[in-house]
Structure 1
């Protein structure tokens, strides 16, 4: 059994709010737009990190983190990328990977919109944790926590917090 924390679009933010929400997880998955290699290192020092780079992660980030990762967690296969879309609206660049890999879990970020959806066409659970940082189109910061136990995905929890009031003024 593994407890997973899922975040995306931190854009340089990894504060006490996120650390508190992720304190009891075994590992953190980051679906891109981390913000910097230094921030990725801070997250990895806090908990084991598995990440993909996002469209705003450039340079060194692209040499360290893949744009697409396919891996196993317990008995569940996971496909993770930053720009991937969602059921019935997958990005064409990732749809072929979904069709060939047939993951149990498909993780994407980028939209800053939290989505947890079952896709009956491909038999997968689509997860987008929304935007965990203070920058972007989202009005609230969000993240997910859940358990992967064998092939079962359970105990899904949503974290939701206001963005920094200093950044909302304008």
Structure 2
């Protein structure tokens, strides 16, 4: 099932590698020495949202993304990764880090847009079981609304093999060259 929506406390220390792995494919949008794609894999635990936020913030900053746009995308990826942990893999918010092999895959790419613009496309994949959100009253379950508000488009595709969330940022101008 695909849902396609378009819209014009300190975490514990982790032994996960916090250095992004950048794609080395050639791309005309790449500012000097910076790759326009990165991918990383996280262990599905409650440290994963923090690690994804840090990696994305660093990568977008290296590409001259504005602080406000970075904040929106960092919040969006944090929500998507948190949903994978809690809803995809069923790890409760008060549960200690489980001893399991489940992972969350993240891919980020900067795509050129017409007229001298660019956008970030974030893809978050888990291989867990989709759990339909509850309908009772709560202060929680705001993640999808947050992701929709912070991005131009959000697509969720869930199947028996897991869930894929694709978040597309609002287009922003390509930065002036540093020459």
Mark yes or no: TM-score above 0.5: no
Q: Which has the larger radius of gyration?
A: 2
Q: Structure 1 length as normaliser, TM-score?
A: 0.27
In terms of fraction of residues, the more helix-rich structure is 2
